[in-house]
Chains A and B, each alone.
Chain A
Amino acid sequence: MTAKDLLNPHPVTITMEETFGGALEILLERHIRALPVLDSAGIYRGMFYLYDLWELLLPKAATIEGAITDLSFMPGSVEELREKVLEAGPRPVTQFLKDKEAPAIHPETSIKEAILMLYHHDGVLPVVEKKTRRFLGILTPWEILNRLRDKG
């Protein structure tokens, strides 16, 4: 079994023109954690994660790996955090796409390899055509769990 047999071919996606605020609204409405970003030709350009919101809300130093592991000395208020979200709202979502996100998989990727990637990234895996990076769908833990239950 490969990714092609497991993927969800119709997930919610956004375009590169979408704003940070708009993308957050969609995550909240749909109760999902990630949105694939596609260009006008349907090519996969990156994944917008809820993780990007956490990164925005935290001080920069806390997002550097291993630099600050405890923020209990730093007080904070909802107002202050909301201000940050409002400030970032109009910025294009493309500014938040980073390399460290889960890499894309291909239709031929085996189920074991896909599980290994979910194990390391615990997120949403975009499935793209190998050469063109045309977006085909996503693979989340839910697709795999559903398939495990069906067979049971």
Chain B
Amino acid sequence: MHAETTAGHVILGWSAAWVATVIFVAVYVMVVLEKLNRAILALLGAGLMILGGVLTQEAAVRGIDFNTIGLLLGMMVIVGITGKCGVFQFLAIWSAKKVRARPMGVLFMLSIVTGVLSAFLDNVTTVLLIVPVTLLITEELKVKPYPYLISEVLFSNIGGTATLIGDPPNIMIGSSVGLTFNDFVLHLTPAILLVMPATLIPIFLIWRKDLVTTEAAMEKVMRFNDREAITDLRLLKQSMFVLACVISGFILAHALHVEPATVAMFGAAVLLLLDNLGRSADEQSKNVHHAFAEVEWVTLIFFLGLFILVHGLEVSGVIAKMAQALLAATGGDRNVTVIAILWGSAILSAFIDNIPFVATMIPLIKSMASTFGGSHALLPLWWALSLGACLGGNGTLIGASANLVVAGMAERAGQPIRFMAYLKSCFLLMVLSVAVCHLYLWLRYL
């Protein structure tokens, strides 16, 4: 417990732990009920942590992980600008043509493209860019878009799990624990390479009968001119240059003693500079305004509030008590704890937002270091948390933001994805992917 960081004037004579728990649980329940926007709730909760006397304002600010915020903000700006040049449409059309527009081949290719892009960009942006082209291609092929959209949802979350920057839980874990881009590539990417075929094969078996079309329809897609999809060649070159530098920066960050947020924010600044060189002051102002308008401020504000909420739990000693309870439940056995975290995170993340869940789990797992013999012994627990929390999002239609975005677009295109229909096929696919990870963790670490 870090009593020195609490404000010292806790309301109603309650202990700081009680006040923090009540605020945290109330915010959590409201987030799950989805009656109020989650950013409003997190900010309200953060304010109450300070006004309720659990934290001072200084302590609250210290609780914010600015490395996570900076990394997300930088990548959002880079992706927002890059998306304007049409490169993602190009990739989708090019990959569909590579398989002669055969429906099953297109499904495989678009799933892989979604997975790979999600590993480097945020999942919501990836599906926002790939789903419209998918709808276009399936309309021309006269096949149901449903299996394609489902597969893209699954692969956006699967691909996002593979790297430090692919999914917010990984960014949070990496930043808070000091795990590097390369650590994630070495430990999580192999698991994801196993999960990908384990998901694609059942998708093939479930939907293969729906994926039939005519030669004439395939010929229509083959006539698409992928090069025409690039709408701004200059911007394409600039974005690819900056993205390549940023990814290299992530790989070298640890060796150069630079934090990932610095790499992402500097990359965003360079891309903004390149995109605005030679423009008039008025144009620059519009362009920069547009670039920042693309940032998902709701998510970032939610993160800010959440970090303060979790910090309140941490300094008031609640996290330490929760960790003791979890250790008691698993008998203090590290291997049992790893597996419990993997499956527990997966099942919970299928129904609740994985970001607050992971934010709570991070200090909880950290506090187990002494029990398991030092922070190095915690590594498999971090991987279990990441794999469970990220892949668990595939279990239901509300499990991850990308799922909801695809459902929204599908609805507007007249192809709604229903909650129960999704649950029937995808919950089992999620369980299968977690089972693969269970095997991976067991063989490699336990």
**Contact call A74/B136, Cβ cutoff below 8 A:** yes
**Contact call B225/A68, Cβ cutoff below 8 A:** no
Residues of chain A within 8 A (CB-CB) of B159 are none
Tell me the dominant secondary structure on chain B's binding face: helix
Residue among B89, B223, B227 making CB contact with A68, cutoff 8 Å? B89
| Distance in angstroms between the alpha carbons of A61 and B133 in the assembled complex | 7
**Contact call A64/B409, Cβ cutoff below 8 A:** yes
Residues of chain A within 8 A (CB-CB) of B412 are 64-65
**Contact call B225/A60, Cβ cutoff below 8 A:** no
The count of chain B contact residues (Cβ–Cβ below 8 Å) is 24
Given A73-B225, A75-B223, 18 more contacts at CB 8 Å? A59-B135, A59-B139, A60-B413, A61-B136, A61-B139, A62-B136, A64-B412, A67-B132, A67-B409, A68-B89, A68-B136, A70-B86, A70-B231, A72-B228, A72-B229, A73-B89, A74-B136, A75-B225
List residues of B (133-150) whose CB comes within 8 Å of A's CBs: 133-136, 139-140
Residues of chain A within 8 A (CB-CB) of B134 are 61
| Distance in angstroms between the alpha carbons of A75 and B222 in the assembled complex | 10
Residues of chain A within 8 A (CB-CB) of B135 are 59-61, 64, 67
**Contact call B409/A60, Cβ cutoff below 8 A:** no
Q: Contacts A61-B139, A73-B229, A74-B224 known; A68 to B133 CB distance under 8 Å?
A: yes
Q: 1/0 per position for A71-99, CB-CB distance to B under 8 A?
A: 01111000000000000000000000000
The answer to whether B259 has its CB under 8 Å from any CB of chain A is: no
**Contact call B132/A61, Cβ cutoff below 8 A:** yes
Residues of chain A within 8 A (CB-CB) of B154 are none
| Distance in angstroms between the alpha carbons of A64 and B415 in the assembled complex | 12
Residue among B132, B224, B409 making CB contact with A73, cutoff 8 Å? B224
CB distance from B348 to the nearest CB of A (A): 32
**Contact call A68/B132, Cβ cutoff below 8 A:** yes
The answer to whether B278 has its CB under 8 Å from any CB of chain A is: no
Residues of chain B within 8 A (CB-CB) of A61 are 132-136, 139, 413
Residue among A62, A65, A70, A75 making CB contact with B224, cutoff 8 Å? A75
The answer to whether B188 has its CB under 8 Å from any CB of chain A is: no
List residues of B (110-155) whose CB comes within 8 Å of A's CBs: 128, 131-136, 139-140
| Distance in angstroms between the alpha carbons of A61 and B149 in the assembled complex | 13
Residues of chain A within 8 A (CB-CB) of B223 are 75
| Distance in angstroms between the alpha carbons of A75 and B228 in the assembled complex | 10
Q: Contacts A64-B412, A72-B228, A73-B229 known; A59 to B140 CB distance under 8 Å?
A: yes
Q: 1/0 per position for A114-152, CB-CB distance to B under 8 A?
A: 000000000000000000000000000000000000000
| Distance in angstroms between the alpha carbons of A59 and B128 in the assembled complex | 17
Among A60, A72, A73, A75, the most chain B Cβ lie within 10 Å of the Cβ of A73
Residues of chain A within 8 A (CB-CB) of B128 are 67
The answer to whether B226 has its CB under 8 Å from any CB of chain A is: yes
- What would be 16 A-B contacts, judged by CB atoms less than 8 Å apart? A59-B140, A60-B414, A61-B135, A62-B136, A64-B132, A64-B412, A65-B412, A67-B132, A70-B231, A72-B225, A72-B229, A73-B93, A73-B225, A73-B226, A73-B228, A75-B225
**Of all chain A residues, which has the CB nearest B128?**
A67
| Distance in angstroms between the alpha carbons of A67 and B134 in the assembled complex | 11
| Distance in angstroms between the alpha carbons of A30 and B409 in the assembled complex | 37
Residues of chain A within 8 A (CB-CB) of B133 are 61, 68
Residues of chain B within 8 A (CB-CB) of A65 are 412
List residues of B (219-251) whose CB comes within 8 Å of A's CBs: 223-229, 231
CB distance from B54 to the nearest CB of A (A): 42
| Distance in angstroms between the alpha carbons of A75 and B225 in the assembled complex | 8
| Distance in angstroms between the alpha carbons of A62 and B136 in the assembled complex | 8
CB distance from A79 to the nearest CB of B (A): 12
CB distance from A25 to the nearest CB of B (A): 26
**Of all chain A residues, which has the CB nearest B129?**
A67
CB distance from A147 to the nearest CB of B (A): 36
| Distance in angstroms between the alpha carbons of A11 and B440 in the assembled complex | 72
CB distance from A91 to the nearest CB of B (A): 14
| Distance in angstroms between the alpha carbons of A94 and B190 in the assembled complex | 54
| Distance in angstroms between the alpha carbons of A73 and B94 in the assembled complex | 11
Residues of chain A within 8 A (CB-CB) of B227 are 73
Residues of chain B within 8 A (CB-CB) of A60 are 135, 139, 413-414
List residues of B (262-308) whose CB comes within 8 Å of A's CBs: none
| Distance in angstroms between the alpha carbons of A76 and B170 in the assembled complex | 44
**Contact call A64/B226, Cβ cutoff below 8 A:** no
| Distance in angstroms between the alpha carbons of A68 and B412 in the assembled complex | 13
| Distance in angstroms between the alpha carbons of A148 and B229 in the assembled complex | 45
Residues of chain B within 8 A (CB-CB) of A62 are 132, 136
| Distance in angstroms between the alpha carbons of A61 and B129 in the assembled complex | 11
**Contact call A59/B136, Cβ cutoff below 8 A:** yes
CB distance from B159 to the nearest CB of A (A): 21
Residues of chain A within 8 A (CB-CB) of B224 are 73-75
CB distance from A50 to the nearest CB of B (A): 21
| Distance in angstroms between the alpha carbons of A73 and B226 in the assembled complex | 6
| Distance in angstroms between the alpha carbons of A61 and B127 in the assembled complex | 13
| Distance in angstroms between the alpha carbons of A59 and B414 in the assembled complex | 12
